[in-house]
Amino acid sequence: MRKYIPYIVLCFTLIVSIIFNVLLIVKSDKKAEHIFNNSIYSIVEIKASSEDVGESFGTAEFIGSDGTLITNAHVITYKKMGTYYTFDNLNIRFSFEENYRSVSLIKYDNDLDLAVLKLDDLKCNFKPISFGDSSNIKNGNGVYAIGNLNNAGLSITEGIISNADIQVTYDGITRNVIQCDLTIADGNSGGALLDLSGKLIGITTFRLKDNKGNVIYGISYCVPANTVLGYI
């Protein structure tokens, strides 16, 4: 019997380890589900359009009880002959709606890549998103991103912070941003980077390309929430 004891102990340890890991996965799934469901009145799809230009899609977050929202400037502007113009029509839509609601442009800053909008008709249920302190985030912290990925509706992805404070030059502008090991795509622009408690710590903004012009997948860059607060 004694010669089997090490094997029994090993088997018991493996079983406990498997159960523990399964519980962690289930707990993580439930947390992601809770954060997503808790955000559907705070995070919306956005569509910008002009008849002679076309359409641009992205994501926005309610940041004030007066119906103000934040998104990326590049979602609501386009560049022509070196000059920036704003789209004529700006609209948002909740993930559970079919029809869009009109919003007005309050201000935008292409250097920060931020834009403030305001919902025209406040006769709807929305909830301003809760801000976290982006100066407290650390490399390796877990994060979630919610956005209108590929203009297919709101979805949630999970990752970690690769570098909490890094300078990156994109489109000729150098910014202090958060680098994340996170999957985003067209439509995620202006979306929410959330900590594990569901608080906004950044705005998902861009991806880089390699020396052949191909998008580098799995690495994303976000405007810190404290930069957003300093702008609004």
pLDDT, tens only, 196-215: 999 999 999 998 887 887 88
189 is catalytic: yes
Of 56, 113, 134, 220, the catalytic one is 113
Q: Is the Cα dihedral 119, 96, 30, 219 positive or negative? A: negative
pLDDT at position 34 is 94
The model carries a pTM of 0.84
74 is catalytic: yes
Lowest model confidence (mean pLDDT) among 21-30, 91-100, 139-148, 185-194? 21-30
Residue 91 has pLDDT above 80, yes or no: yes
Residue with the bigger pLDDT between 16 and 72: it is 72
CA distances from 205 to 24, 33, 185, 186 (A): 30, 23, 10, 10
CA distance 208 to 10: 46
Q: How many alpha carbons fall within 13 Å on the CB side of residue 95?
A: 21
Tokens of 161: 């912070």
Please state the length of the chain. 232
Of 42, 56, 74, 220, the catalytic one is 74
* Segment 112-135 mean pLDDT: 95
133 is catalytic: no
pLDDT at position 14 is 52
CA distance 68 to 43: 12
pLDDT at position 1 is 52
Cβ–Cβ < 8 Å for 163, 179: yes
CA distance 100 to 189: 18
Query: In the chain, pLDDT over 70 holds for what percent of residues?
Result: 88
Of 134, 155, 189, 220, the catalytic one is 189
Cβ–Cβ < 8 Å for 87, 50: yes
Q: How confident is the model at residue 144 (pLDDT cuts 50, 70, 90)?
A: very high
pLDDT at position 190 is 97
Q: Could you write out the three-class secondary structure of the chain?
A: CHHHHHHHHHHHHHHHHHHHHHHHHHHHHHHHHHHHHHHCCCEEEEEEEECCCEEEEEEEEECCCCCEEEECHHHHEEEECCEEEECCEEEEECCCCCCCEEEEEEEEECCCCEEEEEECCCCCCCCCCCECCHHHCCCCCEEEEEECHHHCCCEEEEEEEEEEEEEEEECCEEEEEEEEECCCCCCCCCCEEECCCCCEEEEEEECCECCCCCECCCEEEEEEHHHHHHHC
